[in-house]
Amino acid sequence: MPYLELKEVYTHNLKGIDLKIPLNSLVVITGPSGSGKSSLAINTIAEEGKNRLFQILNYSQEVSLDIVSKAKFISPLPPVIAMTQGVKHWHPYKTIGEFLFLYQTLRLLFEEFGEYKCPACGEFNKVTALNKIIKWYQNLEEGEKFYFLLPLPESTPKALEFLISQGYTKYIIDDKEFDLSEKSIPDKFEKIYLLLDRMIKEERSIERFLENLRVSQSLNQGRIILKFLEGKEYFFNLKPLCLKCGAQFLTEWIKCRSCKGYGYKGKEVCEDCGGLKITSTILESKLLGEPIKEWLNLSIKELYYTLKKLSIPEGLKSWFESIFFKLEKALFLEINYLKPSTPVFSLSVGERKLLELLLIFGINLNKVLYILDEPTLGLDIEKKKKLLTLLRDIIENDNSVILIEHDPYIIENADYIIELGPEGGEKGGYLIKADLKEEFLKKPDTLTSQYLKGKRKLRDLPLISKNFSKEKELIEIIVEGQKINLLKYGINLIYGKTSSKKTLFFEKLNESLEKEGEKILKVEAKELKGRDDLIISYTGIWDNLREILIKLPSARIKGLTQRNFSFYTKEGVCSSCKGKGKKIWETENLKLSSICEECFGKRLNSEVLNLTYKGFKISEILDFTIEEILSILGGIYQIKEKVQLLKELNLSYLKLGQSIEELSGGERNRLFIARKLLSNVKFNYLLLEYPLQGLHLEDIKYFADWLNTLKRKNITVVILDTNLLTLFLSEWIIEIEKGRPYFIGYSKDWLKTLKDKNFKEETLFYQKFFNK
């Protein structure tokens, strides 16, 4: 079996681990949040793959990189395609059709079979390239007879008189042939065409045909009708001019002027283009008899089967093979109900994740290493099973897959399991165990194997007291005209399969609560990507500490003000790195960085960093963990309150001077929740989107304890999730189908309603991780 072998991996908190990862296999990397999973898979392996690609693409340039690698790659590294954690923040108005190249596909077809609508008279016209007309003529059978006719841009007596004087005397008027050198033109007529030539397809007639094409371009700019004796007529336009009125028409798919090609105005559909982004003249033009707007409003499934029926031109077959491959993957993943015109902002988290997977696996590749960080976010169990099937097909096609995952169902279906730990942050980064799944699970000697073997459990299932008064504890809310009950001061779950429109219901519930004047704190499914704050600044601890430091005698002697203690002002930041914490070198294609030698990544000016508080320099305090800071700042109530919440969310091991960029996805998500909760906003409802993102089963244990803390504070929690583990962290369930509640009640009662045998077994699989 081929392996990817690495030695001395020191990326972020990894402790110089050595590892052999089997290729052509499904490998899962797991472990507590912050244990180094993304550092290994994304920041080490995928980053090395990117660097090697860069070197290949820039082989002609002399590039000298004075960088010490954080890992040694002993074996060859296949080409890498990586998908990072969380939800992609695509441009909200971008559509499914743009992502999947369906707009381009329809444009290619339109160039071949399209009929442009004339903006002046409404007539539909085709434009044909010269080479295609010649090819069409060459494919005619020998002996075919036809008239070479030219529609006239002007048919006034004066115009006809000029043509006759030039020798063009024969015409077809209302389907009858006239020689105007012998007869006068009728007083009234509806249609008139210049009869340029009577032709017979012969071996040597191509030169005569080309000459007729040349003459047509000079007389009427290349508008041609070829009429066969049996009655068939073929229309050709060499230029974008209407056959009927001669007006020029659009051939480019230009943007709608009203919305400038966005399709929406503040998420409201543009009235002119109907959200399709293209000018109305093109939308009303026809492809194979149907307006373009109808094509763009087909579902992916309808579009696929319509395209499959077409006779694809030889030159487009390779393009369509790739499109069909992509669309077939969309059908398999069951997002075939989406339309090319569907905008990204209307997609749920699960639909976005499926789209991202489709973009990665919609290209038929082999000998590639795919690295996916938590690809199951927002996916229900059926979609997870489909993902596993898809991954097996990918591996069968001579590829390799590495997943960063916490979902026990995915872990149990792996070929090889790597566990890092034993905790997060500085206490993590160790290789705990790496082996084939069967060997890995033989002994419950790691956190993951203990949970999978039933030796370690999460908290008890929520139990409802028999003496409990339903009238007192249930809250009635009107959502979209329907009465909905929530469990007051309880853990409520909005659950539904991917594409059940539960996210839409969740939003409507939020709106209804706001209308009733409730105080709500909503934490959306987003990451802190793009943010480069230090944890001490992001959590607000620095704001509290700064008030103390400004009053120090040593600070007053130096004349330091509040601006000198800021991570964002010229007076506060390190003069060498300008508050970045690192030196950055950029060229057109390259970005390199190294830690700032003046502030050592602490970002502040030296005068502040060298101040002393309770025997420690500020530069030393920034190296403290969140928990350690209590030893010197525990007497400050505001800081103690912040640290307590961060401990409840199992984040107290993080260093105060650590950058958010260095955190794992699970750590980012919890830190985002913490910041929301640390704000001064008072609330009695907490709405959480996909809160288990990035959490190992051990992390979920802390999360469950924190949920119970919220209950004791009389806060009603509403969770939106598809992860079946959340069913057993919740007391009250609202199951959504097609955007409407299908079940409302206690979790124990919901379990009794399960009729599908497979789904019931899958639900019970997740239940086994909880104490009964």
- Give the span between the Cα atoms of 371 and 627, in whole angstroms: 34
Average pLDDT of 74-91?
Answer: 89
Q: State the pLDDT at residue 51.
A: 82
Weakest-pLDDT range from 186-190, 288-292, 732-736 = 186-190
Please say whether the beta carbons of 306 and 298 come within 8 A. yes
Amino acid of residue 114: G
- Give the span between the Cα atoms of 128 and 333, in whole angstroms: 39
Of 673, 722, 730, the residue nearest 704 (C-alpha): 730
Average pLDDT of 101-115?
Answer: 90
Q: Could you tell me the two tokens for 327?
A: 């669309």
Neighbour order of strands in the sheet with 26-30:
80-83, 369-373, 400-404, 26-30, 416-421, 430-436
- Give the span between the Cα atoms of 109 and 298, in whole angstroms: 16
Average pLDDT of 209-218?
Answer: 93
- Give the span between the Cα atoms of 621 and 623, in whole angstroms: 5
Q: Could you tell me the two tokens for 350?
A: 């699960």
pLDDT digits (tens, 9 = 90+) for 558-609: 999 999 999 999 999 999 999 988 887 665 555 667 788 899 889 999 999 9
Q: Tell whether the model's pLDDT for residue 381 goes beyond 70.
A: yes
Q: How much of the chain is helix, strand and coil, in % rounded to 5?
A: 35, 20, 40
Q: Tell whether the model's pLDDT for residue 332 goes beyond 80.
A: yes
- Give the span between the Cα atoms of 331 and 692, in whole angstroms: 28
Q: State the pLDDT at residue 65.
A: 44
Weakest-pLDDT range from 138-152, 154-168, 338-352 = 154-168
Please say whether the beta carbons of 523 and 715 come within 8 A. no
Of 128, 119, 132, the residue nearest 285 (C-alpha): 119
Neighbours of 176 (CB within 10 A): 9
Q: Could you tell me the two tokens for 164?
A: 């006759």
Please say whether the beta carbons of 603 and 579 come within 8 A. yes
Question: In percent, how much of the chain has pLDDT > 70?
Answer: 94
Which helix (H) or strand (E) segment holds residue 695: the answer is none
pTM of model > 0.75: yes
Q: Tell whether the model's pLDDT for residue 67 goes beyond 50.
A: no
Q: Which domains does the chain have, with CATH numbers?
A: 3-89+365-452 (3.40.50.300), 128-237 (3.30.190.20), 458-519+683-772 (3.40.50.300)
pLDDT digits (tens, 9 = 90+) for 31-41: 999 999 999 99
pLDDT digits (tens, 9 = 90+) for 417-469: 999 999 988 899 999 999 999 999 999 999 999 999 999 999 765 543 334 44
* 685 burial level (CB within 10 Å; 0-12, 13-18, 19+): buried
Instruction: Pick 519 or 680 by higher pLDDT.
Output: 519
Q: State the pLDDT at residue 251.
A: 81
Q: State the pLDDT at residue 650.
A: 85
User: Would strands 170-173 and 192-200 be described as parallel, antiparallel, or unpaired?
Assistant: antiparallel
Q: Tell whether the model's pLDDT for residue 226 goes beyond 80.
A: yes
The alpha carbon of 268 is separated from its chain's Cα centroid by a whole number of angstroms, namely: 21
Torsion angle of the four alpha carbons 141, 146, 152, 157, in this order, in degrees rounded to the nearest 10: 170
Q: Tell whether the model's pLDDT for residue 63 goes beyond 80.
A: no
Instruction: Indicate the pLDDT class of residue 755, thresholds 50, 70 and 90.
Output: confident
Mean pLDDT across the chain: 89
DSSP 268: E
The alpha-helical segments, DSSP class H, found in 373-460 are: 381-396, 408-411, 437-440, 447-452
Please say whether the beta carbons of 651 and 674 come within 8 A. yes
Neighbours of 505 (CB within 10 A): 24
Handedness of CA 686, 692, 693, 694 (dihedral sign): positive
Provide φ and ψ at 79, rounded to 5°: -55, 140
Residue written as token pair 């991570």: 567
User: Would strands 80-83 and 369-373 be described as parallel, antiparallel, or unpaired?
Assistant: parallel
Q: State the pLDDT at residue 462.
A: 54
Average pLDDT of 145-150?
Answer: 94
User: Would strands 233-237 and 591-595 be described as parallel, antiparallel, or unpaired?
Assistant: unpaired
Q: State the pLDDT at residue 460.
A: 62
Burial state string for 308-320 with b = 16 or more CB within 10 A and e = fewer than 16: eeeebeeebeeeb
Q: State the pLDDT at residue 590.
A: 55
Handedness of CA 403, 405, 407, 409 (dihedral sign): positive
Q: What angle do CA 476, 481, 483 make, to 5 degrees?
A: 25
Task: Give me the DSSP letters along 560-607.
Answer: --GGGG-SSSTTTB-TTTTTSSEEEEE-SS-EEEEE-TTTTT--B-HH
Residue written as token pair 């990586």: 82
- Taking the alpha carbons at both ends of the chain, their separation in whole angstroms is 42
Amino acid of residue 36: G
Q: Could you tell me the two tokens for 212?
A: 């007729």
User: Would strands 520-523 and 685-689 be described as parallel, antiparallel, or unpaired?
Assistant: parallel
Q: State the pLDDT at residue 471.
A: 43
Residue written as token pair 């601006």: 563
Q: State the pLDDT at residue 114.
A: 87
Please say whether the beta carbons of 172 and 196 come within 8 A. no
Of 38, 21, 19, the residue nearest 662 (C-alpha): 38
Q: Tell whether the model's pLDDT for residue 238 goes beyond 50.
A: yes
Q: Tell whether the model's pLDDT for residue 68 goes beyond 50.
A: no
pLDDT digits (tens, 9 = 90+) for 698-725: 999 988 988 888 888 899 999 999 999 9
Weakest-pLDDT range from 260-264, 636-640, 658-662 = 658-662
Distant-in-sequence contacts of 463-469, Cβ < 8 A, 24+ apart: 464/731, 464/746, 464/748
- Give the span between the Cα atoms of 123 and 130, in whole angstroms: 22
pLDDT digits (tens, 9 = 90+) for 608-648: 999 999 999 999 999 999 989 988 888 888 899 899 889 88
- Give the span between the Cα atoms of 448 and 453, in whole angstroms: 9
Q: State the pLDDT at residue 591.
A: 60
Average pLDDT of 214-232?
Answer: 90
Burial state string for 3-40 with b = 16 or more CB within 10 A and e = fewer than 16: ebebeebbbbbbeebebebbbbbbbbbbbbbbbbbbbb
Q: Tell me how long the chain is.
A: 772
- Provide the total of helices (H) and of strands (E) in the chain, helices listed first: 29, 33
